Structure 1
Amino acid sequence: MTTQQHKRIHIFHTSFGTISALRENGVIRAKSIRYARSQRFKKPELLEYAENHEIRDKTPVCPQNVSPLLDRLIQKTDIEQFEPDESPQFLTITRPEHFNENEKLSVVVWIHGGSYEIGCGDLPTSDPSVWVKEQNIIVVSVSYRLGLFGFLGGNEERPANIGLYDLIAALKWIKKNIRDFGGDPENITLFGQSSGGDAIAHIMISEGTDGLFRRAIIHSAPLGFRINRQKMSNEFFLKTDALKDEPDALKMVADYVSFLPSFRKYGLKTSMPFCTQYGHPPLCREEESMDKWKVNARKYDVLIGSNQDETAFYVKTAQTGIYTYLPHKILNKIVRRTTESIYEKPAKIFAENFSAGGGNIYQFIIQSTLKNNYIGASHCVDLPLIFENKEAWKSAELLKDVPWEYIQENGKKLRALWAEFARSGSISEDSERPEILKLKKV
């Protein structure tokens, strides 16, 4: 630890143990707190006490392949900043530096996306500092097992949904310990984007999650990919059997890629080879899922939605393949149809089913109002709005036609609305809306 860090150190004395944190940019951030441990393909074991927590130089992540697409569109991955760990059950707590010690703050739990394959809770592009300061909330960012380690299984030796069990373990830890960091354990909102949003939807119908949270904010969940996956998942599971005992975790993730081209026969869903799996604990069978959401509807307040041009992220920025030869008019039609089928229609069905069960649910669309924005409101464009960090997003191709002032102006209003929902489960008709947002109560 540097001398400068020593000056900015903050110590949390908690029932979980002594936790070191840094004061920076108006927030106190306790990074990389281990909430559980796991062996390969085994359920996580929740920790009762801290394991010599100190400020780390590198961020632990589940072993994964770097995505060239995300490097180009969002931020170049500096692999020197990360440390692969097959047991990546860590979370980071960000809270305001100054607040009333007697006040219990609303808690937002961030579950990152990345197709259940890449990413982690702690990235500069999902830094919640601005949101935490503006809205006086606590954000807990969670990392969990991905890919082969977390979301591909089929028998007792390699169970399915292990990454989902990691997330549930994190929620149990947060429920038990967040009060010691100034948070309100009775006012916890899950917030996830892409596969993180899909995970939240499935945590809502998982065994053993009652009472762990009150609300859910689900951004851009690819719910159109959740059904009719069993055949593909089973084939992928069998083909990767030879990798299960590979001692080198990084070799495991490098090698499974060779199987992916053989799944193209399964259509669009092959773009997300890993996913939650129905019919395996803690989930019900696929045909029972809609009824489960309906039955559980009164337990949670939900805010669900997507971006107007979700799939432009993949279609309009392709550097190889058929999309590079098609005219813009055709590309726009492809973007519209795939966005509807993967994101919009499934979210509408989810919302209407949830509302029919007596649930409190809002649905939203984020759109671009800029004339010269070729990509439009594509997948991930909501992230810089919520996680404002100009330095982290400055080279993102995703925002190359978007003035940063536009992100700031719309983001501040969006963050205020989402925090209002996290605090109360509702959004007032009188609250100011950003021009990019369409929002309705279902």
Structure 2
Amino acid sequence: MSLYLTLVHLLIGLTFAPSLIYSSSSPIVQSKTGIIRGTTIVKPGSILVNQFLGVPYAQPPIGSRRFGRPQPLASDPLRTIDATKPAATCVQFPHIAEAINPLLNFDANHKVSEDCLYLNIYAPYVNESESSSSALPVMVWLAGEGFDFADANQFDGSYLSAFGQVIVITVQYRVGVFGFLKDDIISQGNMGIWDQVEALKWIQDNVAVFGGDSKKVTVFGRFSGSMAITHLLTSPLLRNLNEPLFSKAILMSGVAVDEWTMEKAPLERSNSFIHALGCDQLNASKCLYFASSDEILSKSGYGWKPTTDNVLITDGPFAALSRGEIARGVESVMIGSTASEGSLCLLTWMVTKRNIYNKLISGDLTEQQMISLAKKDLKTYKTGNGDAVFQSFIKSRTLKSGMPLAREYVNFCSNLLINSHSERLASILNTLDIETSSYKLHYKPGFSLAPDFIETGSHGDDVLLAFGLPFNNPSEADERDLSVSSSLLSLISSFAWSIDLSTVSSAPNGDLIISRRPSPSKLTLNAPLCNGTSIPNSCSMKKTLSTFINMLDSKPSVKTSIPNYSS
């Protein structure tokens, strides 16, 4: 401990420390909000990664700050932060264990807390005798499976960091009633998305000490995490900042659709919740502040969503984009999906009506039942003229003779929830001169939890591959899983590095299809490759990937789709 305190005192007063300092193999950095001690971990293949878990980015939203916008941490060079283990997840209902893939870090004990505004930071290892010659791109992950659930701790960013030579940061933010309650007096709403903004501000101020480039930040997320990013892309607050918070975005499995991803009657929803909690309307504020988090959660229910707050969100994303409104500094957007995104509907039925789910996976669904499910989904996720959409669906069914009803239903859900809106967003972004690319995962990994009748990649499969999680236990992983995972790792890290995606190969056998839609004013990204100067670590990125694959003794024949960055 004496050596650690000595280092603390040596670092006091420094405003910038571009290099890591090591004490007994522990990386230590001086941030503006304190001195942070992490750990160096060893991954399969002897790959080393520095990780800093449970790094605070805002004051705890407790007491009088409950339901309030996040408050920044004060600068304190004397503060010491133990970032050797993850902090608690934000308060939310327990995740359904059978819906959580074993590749994720699942907390069976469900450790949650209102004191939860923390980051997990993963950085490529740098030898004590070496210093990084250039700053690395930063990739900020926003988890989310509906605005009631998000757990950054589930996602191990170490593989993506090592493979792509990027800084990976996963963000905890408030969800459910704690993140999206809106009331005239108690809360202005959208606290969860305000948390994300505060995290991005902290990253801008501090990522350099971890080796990151604050001007090369990519935000990426899945489903509601992706939807939150869509709101950030069109936020007037981010349009009017002097310096952008990010320059790139990867939207995986969903974009925010005005009609069903925003709460249209937030005050009614809040009043119903306050009544259910047993609070008198006149004393609602006092009642809410003194109630326990367990009491609040138990009466809150599901389905909380963002809403307009006249500062961060003033309109739906598509409405804002139609007026040409987009956040300052956004250069390019990637939109990702799987071929069977509609498996998300199966998850909904598994939770709400198990008998319907059982019929779907057993093949006992009748045609009338399938049509009835489609009608219910159109009502739930109403978007535009639902009747016209339904009639179009019925008419198209005549072209699908022989397709199993359950698979037909999944395809319908894929188009209803994800595909149609993603394509619409891509078209609008293209008209705004935003470089747009996309990928679609057709391959169904061996670890997929989707039922057997789904033969292609399902909702969430791409995320696990993109994080490189099959490499956690490569001796038990399917060889093709590792190959496709390498392809996705190469793709998203190349995107973060601003490498021309035409140099990135799609996975063989049509497993992963990559497409690119240049903006009207650009034919290529014009990014120099290995012999250029704006991407100084692109060569080492390729070498890291190759070295890792070659060192997997149990899988010596794995083939990867690594772009050729050498000249």
Q: 2: distance between equivalents of 1:76 and 1:417?
A: 24
| Contact 1:10-1:22 within 8 A present in 2 as well | yes
SS in 2 for 1:33: strand
Give the direction of change, closer, same or farther, for the CA distance of 1:7–1:305 in structure 2 (3 Å limit): same
User: What is the one-letter code of the residue matched to 1:63?
Assistant: V
Q: Which moved more, 1:192-201 or 1:68-77?
A: 68-77
1:196 partnered with 2:225: yes
User: What is the one-letter code of the residue matched to 1:343?
Assistant: I
Give the direction of change, closer, same or farther, for the CA distance of 1:367–1:30 in structure 2 (3 Å limit): same
Q: 2: distance between equivalents of 1:153 and 1:393?
A: 44
Deviations 1:420-442 (A, max 9, x none): 11111x54323222242222223
Give the direction of change, closer, same or farther, for the CA distance of 1:228–1:22 in structure 2 (3 Å limit): closer
Residue of structure 1 equivalent to 2:212 = 183
User: What is the one-letter code of the residue matched to 1:332?
Assistant: R
SS in 2 for 1:53: strand
Residue of structure 1 equivalent to 2:418 = 343
SS in 2 for 1:48: coil
| Contact 1:224-1:343 within 8 A present in 2 as well | no
User: What is the one-letter code of the residue matched to 1:191?
Assistant: F
Q: Which moved more, 1:103-112 or 1:306-315?
A: 306-315
Residue of structure 2 equivalent to 1:87 = 115
TM-score of the two chains, using structure 1 as the length reference: 0.84
Q: 1: distance between equivalents of 2:158 and 2:439?
A: 24
1:208 partnered with 2:237: yes
Give the direction of change, closer, same or farther, for the CA distance of 1:183–1:283 in structure 2 (3 Å limit): same
Q: 1: distance between equivalents of 2:72 and 2:35?
A: 17
- List gaps (5 residues or longer) in structure 2: 2-21, 43-47, 278-287, 366-403, 518-567
Residue of structure 1 equivalent to 2:505 = 432
- List gaps (5 residues or longer) in structure 1: 261-272, 395-401
Deviations 1:125-173 (A, max 9, x none): x111111111211101111111101123243412211111110011011
Q: 1: distance between equivalents of 2:265 and 2:439?
A: 31
Query: How many Å apart are 1:246 and its aligned residue?
Result: 5.4
SS in 2 for 1:208: helix
Query: Superposition RMSD on alpha carbons, in Å?
Result: 3.0
2:479 to 379, 396, 405: 405
Query: How many Å apart are 1:207 and its aligned residue?
Result: 3.3
Q: 2: distance between equivalents of 1:341 and 1:393?
A: 36
Taking the TM superposition and a 5 Å limit, the aligned residue runs for 1:171-320 are 171-209=200-238, 210=241, 211-224=244-257, 227=260, 229-231=262-264, 233-242=266-275, 243=277, 244-245=288-289, 247-257=291-301, 273-278=303-308, 280-286=310-316, 288-291=319-322, 295-296=326-327, 299-315=330-346, 318=350, 320=354
Residue of structure 2 equivalent to 1:19 = 36
TM-score of the two chains, using structure 2 as the length reference: 0.67
1:67 partnered with 2:84: no
Q: 1: distance between equivalents of 2:219 and 2:408?
A: 33
User: What is the one-letter code of the residue matched to 1:96?
Assistant: P
Give the direction of change, closer, same or farther, for the CA distance of 1:43–1:292 in structure 2 (3 Å limit): farther
Query: Comparing both chains, which one has the higher relative contact order based on Cα–Cα distances under 8 Å and sequence gaps of 6 or more?
Result: 1
Give the direction of change, closer, same or farther, for the CA distance of 1:369–1:118 in structure 2 (3 Å limit): closer
| Contact 1:150-1:162 within 8 A present in 2 as well | yes
Query: How many Å apart are 1:276 and its aligned residue?
Result: 1.9
Q: Which moved more, 1:89-98 or 1:70-79?
A: 70-79
Query: How many Å apart are 1:281 and its aligned residue?
Result: 3.0
Query: How many Å apart are 1:367 and its aligned residue?
Result: 1.2
| Contact 1:224-1:341 within 8 A present in 2 as well | no
Deviations 1:51-89 (A, max 9, x none): 431145553211111122655555584344x64221321
